[in-house]
Amino acid sequence: METYLKEQVKLLRVICGLLVAIVLVLGITSVLALTKIERITKVTENLNAKVDRAYEAAAPVGIAAVKKGADAISNMDAKELGDKATGGVKEIGGAAKEKAMQWLKGTNPKKADKE
Look at residue 108 in the predicted model and tell me its pLDDT: 62
Instruction: Please tell me whether residues 9 and 46 are part of one structural domain.
Output: yes
54 shares a domain with 92: no
Domain boundaries, position 6: 1-76
- Same domain? 6 vs 44: yes
Q: Please tell me whether residues 40 and 56 are part of one structural domain.
A: yes
One DSSP character per residue, the chain reads -HHHHHHHHHHHHHHHHHHHHHHHHHHHHHHHHHHHHHHHHHHHHHHHHHHHHHHHHHHHHHHHHHHHHHHHHHT--HHHHHHHHHHHHHHHHHHHHHHHHHHHHT--HHHHHH-
Residues 93 and 55 in one domain: no
Residues 2-15: what's their mean pLDDT? 91
Claim to verify: residue 9 and residue 44 sit in the same structural domain: yes
Taking the model in full, what pTM does it have? 0.43
Co-location of 90 and 65 in the same domain: no
- Segment 35-50, tens digit of pLDDT: 999 999 999 999 999 9
Q: What is the CA radius of gyration of the chain?
A: 42
Domain total in the chain: 2
Q: Note the residue count of the chain.
A: 115
